[in-house]
């Protein structure tokens, strides 16, 4: 699909009566729902239309569902590239990619200049200095003094109060969203790199040259969402736009390592994890952060898919949260905007999710809209950077930049007929149209480019 293709511009005036009638119809059968339905007091206030559900809205599994191999999509791509196109194909592709990087920087192509590329690359600094089980993402205590060294007893409180304590700390360290989920070993990868990941009856996490050992006593997982800069998200397919992801991942590494050290300071064990060790999305779903979408990624009520996910495993007893539902799955069945605008056509256009995977980068045995990661990553090589068009065009990405999105999201959560209105209005007002990369450098942005309480920059 042509990268330069534009989303629909504003189409004049929508008929106000039509909009009002549709919203009224969508909300006419609404009942006032609990704010979260959670077992703990809300540290982060959720929209009223987010409801707790007994099981994830897209959580059907089969006996095939087992621990994922831990396959590295980037390594898989290299192997598949040479297998499909001949030995040395990947190397040639990388040489061509580097040539484009230099040429585009020299010619000053918008979004690909030297400063555009390097501001995003520098944002990776913390994440790229962190490896599972080592230094920042250490599986064991770093420097904090445990209660025993202070002559104190470990922290003890009710499971509800403890959950609130951990969420409050997570928010302090930079989490936009935090929830508690029970440990599910099937979400944990079989391997990380060249080492097995195993569960054993041990007192502390252990990292050896052969394996990562998770104590079986770690029955709780703190799932965390880190909000990304919406203005950078709106620069998809550019090197500067990649800064939304790279900074998000670096923030993840900081938040989980800091929160893990806090938990250790309370007298318990903790393992910080970003993209390593286990799948972040299913833990986030079980913890009530959001729903699985057509992108096969999480969509949250507050920030849509514009979050990076991470987690902390621990033996600190806490009250668990419940999954939530707010109409995403039904909406995705009708919308298909991310699939339509995907430059590589890597996303599914199917009406319904299924169990049919697209390749070894997908974990079999659960129902989803599976993506073709090979096509996606191949497009990245041509582009010389990450893409994120799907995030940018998603109607749920817009935060509260327009009040109408909150109104229609609420209607869509309880009345599927409003789904079409949501998509049409998103197109009509031109949301998701790429911005000018040069304008980003001129803005008076808040710290880290985000306001985590509003979902916008200002």
pLDDT tens readout for residues 248-285: 999 999 999 999 999 999 999 999 999 999 999 999 99
Region 168-181 average pLDDT: 94
**Domain assignment present for 3:** no
DSSP 191: E
- Which residue in 56, 65, 450, 60 sits closest to 284, CA to CA? 56
3-state SS class at 172 = helix
Q: What is the Cα–Cα distance from 125 to 131, expressed in whole angstroms?
A: 12
pLDDT reported for residue 9: 41
pLDDT reported for residue 121: 87
Mark 88-113 as b/e (b = at least 16 C-beta within 10 Å).
eebeebeeeeeeebeebbeeeeebbb
User: Where is 91: in which H helix or E strand?
Assistant: helix 89-107
**Domain assignment present for 213:** yes
pLDDT reported for residue 44: 66
3-state SS class at 402 = coil
pLDDT band at 403 (very low <50, low <70, confident <90, very high): very low
- Which residue in 173, 378, 333 sits closest to 258, CA to CA? 173
High-pLDDT (> 90) share of the chain, %: 60
**Domain assignment present for 69:** yes
Region 311-338 average pLDDT: 95
Region 314-340 average pLDDT: 94
Top pLDDT among 63 and 48 is at 63
Q: Tell me which of 116-125, 344-353, 378-387 is least confident.
A: 116-125
Q: Could you report the per-residue pLDDT of 122-174, keeping only the tens digit for each?
A: 888 888 888 777 788 999 998 899 999 989 899 999 999 999 999 999 999 99
pLDDT reported for residue 408: 66
Region 365-372 average pLDDT: 94
DSSP 146: P
pLDDT reported for residue 29: 37
**Domain assignment present for 130:** yes
Angstrom distances, CA of residue 369 to CA of 293, 332, 399:
7, 10, 24
**Domain assignment present for 454:** no
**Domain assignment present for 248:** yes
Region 315-326 average pLDDT: 96
Q: Could you report the per-residue pLDDT of 427-436, keeping only the tens digit for each?
A: 655 555 677 8
**Domain assignment present for 458:** no
Question: Strand locations in 322-403, DSSP E?
Answer: 324-325
Angstrom distances, CA of residue 396 to CA of 7, 13, 168, 248, 352:
16, 22, 25, 18, 19
pLDDT reported for residue 114: 86
**Domain assignment present for 346:** yes
Query: pTM of this prediction?
Result: 0.84
* Number of domains observed in the structure of the chain: 1
How many other CB atoms are found less than 10 A from the CB of residue 386? 20
Does position 345 have pLDDT exceeding 60, yes or no? yes
Quote helix, strand, coil % in the chain, to nearest 5: 40, 15, 50
Structural domain span for residue 205 = 16-449
């Amino acid at each position: 699909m042509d990268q330069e293709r534009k989303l629909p511009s504003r189409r004049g005036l929508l008929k106000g009566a039509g909009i009002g009638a549709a919203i009224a119809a969508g909300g006419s059968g609404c009942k006032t729902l609990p704010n979260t339905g959670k077992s703990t007091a809300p540290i982060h206030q959720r929209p009223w239309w987010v409801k707790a559900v007994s099981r994830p809205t897209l959580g059907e599994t089969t006996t095939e569902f087992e621990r994922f191999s831990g396959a590295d999509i980037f390594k898989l791509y290299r192997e598949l590239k040479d297998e499909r196109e001949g030995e040395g194909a990947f190397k040639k592709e990388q040489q061509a990619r580097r040539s484009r990087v230099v040429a585009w920087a020299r010619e000053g192509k918008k979004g690909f200049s030297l400063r555009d590329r390097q501001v995003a690359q520098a944002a990776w600094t913390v994440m790229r200095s962190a490896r599972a089980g080592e230094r920042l993402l250490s599986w064991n205590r770093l420097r904090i003094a445990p209660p025993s060294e202070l002559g104190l007893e470990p922290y003890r409180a009710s499971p509800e109060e403890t959950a609130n304590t951990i969420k409050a700390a997570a928010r302090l360290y930079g989490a936009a969203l935090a929830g508690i989920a029970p440990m599910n070993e099937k979400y944990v990868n079989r391997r990380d790199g060249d080492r097995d990941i195993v569960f054993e009856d041990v007192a502390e996490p252990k990292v050896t040259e052969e394996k990562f050992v998770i104590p079986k006593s770690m029955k709780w997982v703190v799932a965390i969402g880190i909000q990304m800069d919406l203005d950078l998200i709106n620069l998809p397919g550019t090197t500067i736009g990649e800064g939304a992801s790279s900074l998000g991942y670096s923030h993840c590494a900081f938040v989980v390592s800091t929160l893990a050290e806090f938990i250790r300071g309370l007298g318990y064990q903790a393992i910080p994890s970003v993209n390593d060790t286990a799948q972040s999305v299913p833990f986030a779903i079980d913890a009530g952060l959001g729903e699985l979408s057509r992108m096969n990624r999480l969509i949250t009520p507050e920030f849509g898919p514009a979050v990076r996910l991470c987690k902390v495993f621990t033996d600190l007893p806490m009250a668990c949260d419940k999954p939530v539902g707010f109409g995403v799955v039904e909406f995705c069945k009708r919308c298909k905007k991310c699939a339509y605008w995907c430059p590589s056509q890597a996303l599914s256009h199917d009406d319904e999710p299924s169990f049919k995977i697209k390749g070894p980068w997908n974990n079999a045995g659960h129902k989803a809209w599976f993506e073709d990661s090979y096509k996606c990553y191949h497009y990245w090589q041509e582009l010389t950077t990450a893409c994120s068009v799907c995030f940018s065009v998603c109607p749920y990405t817009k935060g509260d930049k327009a009040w109408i999105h909150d109104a229609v999201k609420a209607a869509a959560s309880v009345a599927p007929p409003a789904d079409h209105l949501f998509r049409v209005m998103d197109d009509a007002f031109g949301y998701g149209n790429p911005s000018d990369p040069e304008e980003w450098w001129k803005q008076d942005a808040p710290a880290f480019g985000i306001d985590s309480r509003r979902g916008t920059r200002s």
